[in-house]
Amino acid sequence: MRPVLYFVLTTVSIVVAKSSEWDMFALSLTWPVTLCRFSELNKPPQKCVISSKLWTIHGLWPSARNRDHDPENCPISKPFNKNEIQNLWEPLNKYWPNQFPRTPKYSFWKHEWEKHGRCATEVRETGSEHLYFNKTLSLRMKYNIDEILSSAGIKPGEKYQLQDIKSVLKQKLGSKPIILCGNVKKVHWISAMVICMDRKFQLFDCPEKRIAERSYFNTPLPPHDRCRAEVFYPMK
């Protein structure tokens, strides 16, 4: 039986994106060590490969601060075509990898484009498939979580106070992202991070409760529980 991946939904909704229906982007990042650990705990277990121990991209998602639903699967632009992003394959494989080798090579990018990217095309900087992936990569590089945490002495393999991590991110980013965790034997492993920005890509404090409950976190992987006061930043 083919495993259920963290970017595959059990149901599909079609919502046409309109300017009045969404007012922000959620840049979602994943810590790959935690993702692979939880994939092993799945039943049945999923084969997961850590290509590099860097914060990787999950997606860039048009979202709404004050609505119950976000636009998804919008039929307002072309379906995925891998040739449109051929010159981005190298950075995509590094920063936006498909960590599940038993799935089609381009399936993760295809899913993110068709569920989220096609809804973002009314914004000029994400107005095509190539622009969407290129912009997301540039945001990942601009807000380099690996460097931000490392420069503050927060490195994988140790436990930290969640508030200390939040304070570092607030100081360096100028806004408050959301940190999400997975529970392993009552130890909360850092799993994911969401950075919130408006349609002009200006950062602001994430509305934590609403983001954590959004529909794009309705699958088990990556884990997305609220973190406790003490968290583990796993190395392997």
**DSSP H or E segment with residue 189:** strand 187-198
Structure tokens at 219: 């699958």
Provide the b/e sequence for 77-114 (b: ≥16 CB within 10 Å): beebeeebbeebeebbeebbbbbbeebeebebbbbbbb
Of the CA atoms within 13 Å of residue 191, those in its CB half-sphere come to 25
Q: Which of 58, 111, 188, 224 is catalytic?
A: 58
Query: What CA–CA distance (Å, rounded) separates 55 from 73?
Result: 26
CA-based end-to-end distance of the chain: 27
Q: Which of 72, 111, 112, 188 is catalytic?
A: 112
Rg (CA), the chain: 17
Specify whether 188 is catalytic: no
Specify whether 213 is catalytic: no
Specify whether 112 is catalytic: yes
Q: Which of 72, 111, 114, 116 is catalytic?
A: 116
Active-site positions? 58, 112, 116
